[in-house]
Amino acid sequence: MFVPLEGSWALIFGVSSGMGKETARALAEAGCHIIGVHFDLAEGQQQAEQYAKTVGELGVEAHFFNRNVAAPKTRAELVPVIHDLTSGVGPRVVLHSVAYGTLTSLLPSAPGGGQDQDAVLPEVTPKQLAMTVDVMGHSLVYWIQDLVQASLLPRGAKVFAMTSAGGARVLSGYAPVAAAKATLESHVRNLAVELAPRGVAVNAIRAGTTITPALEKIPGNQKLIDHCRDINPGGRLTRTEDVAEAIVALSVSDSSWLTGNVIGVDGGEALVV
């Protein structure tokens, strides 16, 4: 059964950029209030505050918090805020769209495997690897734990985690993030099973290559962009709007049966060679 999103709440991690930002707008257009978490320096924070106003002008409440999503103190502070804002109901949609990690290779190497010897990527350090997997992978689990503990993940809720083709394939300069995405996809499957009795669905969204600030930080991104634009059977790259629309569409059902999947939103990009 389809249940309108109007008046429900969404909790978005990574709301100031890329997929999180666009999905906030799309959910707000569907009448969903937004609680957003992002982590930006002053310049980015000002832009995020401005964006919260823009989202609010769509006729919903929009509360953005500039906090480290992976810090326990952030959860300790925000879970009670989420309780109060949602009148104890909790969010109907949770989106994990967190892009903060180290972009390098496991061994020293040139980005793209190319000949550019001036731009050798350093090998990843234990600290970088642990931090990246923690922020982009494990943080989903810790938030879900705390939301469940606080009875803030109601029956019918939908949890989405943004993954990428790099979670199962190899992209130069992406190795730590690839590990985080593989971890995240595993967490999605396990959470889906563990949350099934509660009627909560958990899925990973595997967007095709999309031009976002996060993509622009990947070494050799232009090569990737050109390649994906070339091979995508839909004839173009994925847009943040494609992802936002898919999340809105999947959120309006109150069924929890579509769960535990990695759902491609890429126009078929990952299917072709």
Please identify which residue in 47, 66, 253, 261 interacts with another protein, judged by CB under 8 A: 66
Please identify which residue in 58, 79, 89, 131 interacts with another protein, judged by CB under 8 A: 131
- In sequence order, the 6+-apart residues with CB closer than 8 A to the CB of 136 are 98, 99, 100, 101, 177, 180, 181, 183, 184
In 3D, which of 243, 109, 129 has the Cα closest to residue 171? 109
Of 34-42, 184-192, 207-215, 258-266, the segment contacting another protein by CB under 8 A is 34-42
Contact 40, 65 (CB under 8 A): no
According to the binding rule CB under 8 A, does residue 19 interact with another protein?
A: no
Nearer to another protein by C-beta: 137 or 156?
A: 137
Nearer to another protein by C-beta: 126 or 197?
A: 126
Rounded to 5 degrees, φ, ψ at 214 are -65, -40
Please identify which residue in 29, 31, 68, 239 interacts with another protein, judged by CB under 8 A: 68
Q: How far apart are CA 268 and CA 265, in angstroms?
A: 8
Nearer to another protein by C-beta: 40 or 254?
A: 40
Q: What are the C-alpha distances in Å from 227 to residues 10, 162, 220, 267?
A: 34, 21, 11, 14
| CB of 124 vs another protein, minimal distance in Å | 12
Taking the CA atoms of 5, 9, 11 and 17 in sequence, report the sign of the dihedral they define. Answer: positive
Both tokens of residue 187?
Answer: 């967490």
Question: How many residues sit in the footprint of another protein (CB under 8 A)?
Answer: 15
| CB of 121 vs another protein, minimal distance in Å | 15
Q: How far apart are CA 97 and CA 37, in angstroms?
A: 10
| CB of 140 vs another protein, minimal distance in Å | 16
Q: How far apart are CA 273 and CA 88, in angstroms?
A: 48
Of 3-11, 52-60, 64-72, 170-178, the segment contacting another protein by CB under 8 A is 64-72
Contact 162, 95 (CB under 8 A): yes
| CB of 119 vs another protein, minimal distance in Å | 17
37 three-class SS: strand
According to the binding rule CB under 8 A, does residue 39 interact with another protein?
A: yes
Nearer to another protein by C-beta: 24 or 70?
A: 70
| CB of 180 vs another protein, minimal distance in Å | 13
| CB of 68 vs another protein, minimal distance in Å | 6
Q: How far apart are CA 30 and CA 27, in angstroms?
A: 5
Helix (H) or strand (E) run with residue 242 in it: helix 240-251
Binding to another protein (CB under 8 A) within 69-128 occurs at: 70-71, 100, 102, 127-128
Residues that bind another protein (CB under 8 A): 39-43, 66, 68, 70-71, 100, 102, 127-128, 131, 135
